[in-house]
Amino acid sequence: MSRRALTLLVAGFLVLALGVAGAFLPVPYVVLSPGPTENTIGEVEKKPVITISGHQTYPTKGALRLVTVAYQGGPSSRIDLLTALRGWVDPTVAVVPEETIFPKSRSPKEVEEENTVEMTNSQDFATAAALTELKIPFGMVVTVASTEKGKPADGKLRKGDEISTVDGKPAANVKIISDAVKAHKPGESVAFTVIRGKDKTDISLPTVAGPSGQAVVGVVMQESYKFPFKVDINVGDVGGPSAGLMFSLGILDKLTPGEITGGKDIAGTGTIQASGEVGPIGGIAQKMVGARKSGATVFLTPADNCAEAMKAVPDGLRLVKAETLHAAVSALDALRTGKGDVPACAAG
């Protein structure tokens, strides 16, 4: 073999070796793919997704599926270039920069914890929205989320304490309590009445000057709902807020006679507020693919996701626009009875 041919052969081998090695180098991207679906009026691991106690419930039929997006990659388990390339040519998945899912300002653990909190809040909002739609009254309470170390509330107030009054006045929301504390001069005391378990306790706390000079006691508060009966939601490892609409519909279906699905396999997505407003979500294309693979024929779509959804809707899946919980219920009624308008997504 000539020296020239040998040189070309070695160079070709090196290029091939470098190409193969490069294909397995980790890259800062995440692959998003269709995830599993769960029927909110069905079961997960032989346990009902939604369990209601303390109120009459009714049999359900069909499916109301929440949809998910699975991801591969992340700071602690980066994908290789070959995996990313496969994703770029697969129309059912998306390849996005790592910071889209894992912002550099937060650790993967913090992202996971945030998703868990968002899921918990979503379940509360879903219950509140369903009860609002059914005109079932419920209350709101302010509870202690945490206290600041070294501040007056530290060791006096506990996580989970329900603050019922401040300076003798009802503590209807966080702002009322915060304003009542700030109305004092640093050094003055604030009177709280808290409910801890089954006990009601009066606690007086001195105030100190906060960073702005206003009086503080060092308590972090959160508002939560107080429902007239218990609603438990079991979805395993699913996180984030995007299942809110489907939780609300599942709760509604169980609390009302008849089946709002009409026996159909319905899927959908969207965040939910206590008022019933449906908000946009991410990963709509992958969620639609997952819905269709699971057998759904109708997909409830947040209004703000409609234009994007129209560009990637799978064959056999009907997109129904859902701006509010009430609109979604009305659309399902129209689909079931054949009477009334079914709002459709339109291309943007």
DSSP per residue, 126-157: HHHHHHHHTT---EEEEEEEEE-TTSTTBTTB
> 226 with 29: CB under 8 angstroms?
no
* DSSP letter, residue 192: E
The distance from CA 92 to its chain's CA centroid, rounded to whole angstroms, is 22
320 to each of 314, 341, 348, how far by Cα in Å? 14, 11, 15
Q: What is the pLDDT of residue 106?
A: 65
3-state class of 103 per DSSP?
Answer: coil
Q: How far apart are CA 294 and CA 38, in angstroms?
A: 9
CA distance 29 to 95: 6
In the prediction, which pLDDT does 21 show?
47
Instruction: Say what the pLDDT of residue 129 is.
Output: 96
pLDDT, position 1: 54
Mark whether 242 is an active-site residue: yes
Q: Is 178 helix (H, G, I), strand (E, B) or coil?
A: helix
CB 34 within 8 A of CB 85: no
**What pLDDT does residue 2 have?**
56
156, 254, 287, 321: which is the annotated catalytic residue? Answer: 287
Give the pLDDT confidence score for residue 132 in this predicted structure: 96
**Per-block average pLDDT, block size 10, for the chain (348 residues)?**
52 48 68 92 92 96 94 81 80 85 72 72 92 94 92 94 95 93 96 94 96 93 90 82 94 95 95 94 94 96 96 95 97 92 82
What is the model's pLDDT at position 19? 47
Q: Which of 122, 151, 242, 254 is catalytic?
A: 242
Return the pLDDT at 18: 44
In a 3-state reduction of DSSP, which class is residue 344?
strand
pLDDT at residue 94, as a whole number: 87
Domains of the chain: 30-136+228-337 (3.30.230), 139-226 (2.30.42.10)
